Amino acid sequence: MDTLLKYAPLATLGLVLLMGARLWPDRSDRKEEKGEREGAVDTDRSHFKDFMETTQESQAERARWEGAVDADRNHFKDFMKAVRRQLNEILATVSPEPLVSRSSPLRLTQGGEKLVEQLGGAAWARETAEGLAVETEGLEPFDIEDLAFAHANDLKLPALMRKVAYDEGVPSAVVRQVLGIVLRDELIQRQDATSTDARSEKR
């Protein structure tokens, strides 16, 4: 018993040293762990650096792409403007604005009314209707139209009318048709006015 008590402190000290060795690794182990941690950190830094470089390259590529798209849009807008301009020029040459609408009876369009104003067609129709009013008595509107067109076709166009037709690029046949419509309307209007006056006198 005395012997056990004598060696108990040594046993306790040995136990403590053994446990300390297990709990506290030696310096070489700590160096390895530190190296592993630093290697992991360096790896993460490298990955982050690669990620940032890739991101910057992607942003630069996107900027170049957006710039190319904007340039293409601008070119397309310029192209469409040129196409519209050329199309308008072609339509103006091949298919000018009609002066007479294809309704029944024939009517002047806004372009036709403008041409009549330039030709002085209203004044001509009033003056001409003075001499034709007698011939329209008892005629139907379509007969009056035939009479007006026949007169306009036989008309020798005054110099002013020929000049306007030349300046506007309107064929003389179209000018005569426009004048025939104006004369027809003037004759029918006079006929209606005469009929109204006659009915009023009978009352």
Per-residue pLDDT band at 6 (split at 50, 70, 90): low
- Could you tell me if 146 and 129 lie in one domain? yes
Choice between 92 and 182, residue whose per-residue pLDDT is larger: 182
Domain count of the fold of the chain: 2
What is the reported pLDDT for 94? 46
Q: How far is CA 2 from CA 8, 9, 31, 84, in A?
A: 10, 13, 46, 120
| Domain final position from 95, 118, 149 | 95
User: Does 76 share its domain with 152?
Assistant: no
Is the same domain home to 33 and 63? yes
Residues 6+ away with beta carbon under 8 Å from 137:
191, 194
Looking at the predicted structure, is the pLDDT value of residue 183 above 90? Answer: yes
Are 89 and 105 in the same domain?
no
Say whether both 124 and 55 belong to one domain.
no
What are the pLDDT digits (tens) for 137-180?
A: 889 999 999 999 999 999 999 998 999 999 988 899 999 999 99
Place 59 in a pLDDT band, splitting at 50, 70 and 90: confident
84, 115: one domain: no
Q: Domain check: are 47 and 119 in the same one?
A: no
Q: Which contacts of 137-143 are long-range, i.e. CB under 8 A and separated by 24 or more positions?
A: 137/191, 137/194, 139/191, 141/105, 141/184, 141/188, 142/105
**Listed residues 47, 70, 95: the one ending a domain:** 95
Judgement on whether residues 63 and 110 belong to the same structural domain of the protein: no
With 60 as the cut, is the pLDDT of residue 197 above it?
no
Query: What pLDDT is stored for residue 136 in this prediction?
Result: 87
Residue finishing a domain among 95, 120, 151: 95
Per-residue confidence (pLDDT) for residue 95, from 0 to 100: 45
91 and 104 share one domain: no
Is residue 44 domain-shared with residue 115, that is, in the same domain? no
Domain that holds residue 43: 1-95
pLDDT of residue 52: 75
Q: What is the pLDDT of residues 71-129, one digit of tens each?
A: 777 777 777 777 766 665 554 454 456 888 877 888 999 999 999 999 999 999 999 99
What letter represents residue 40's amino acid? Answer: A
Q: What is the pLDDT of residues 106-117, one digit of tens each?
A: 899 999 999 999
Same domain membership, residue 86 and residue 60: yes
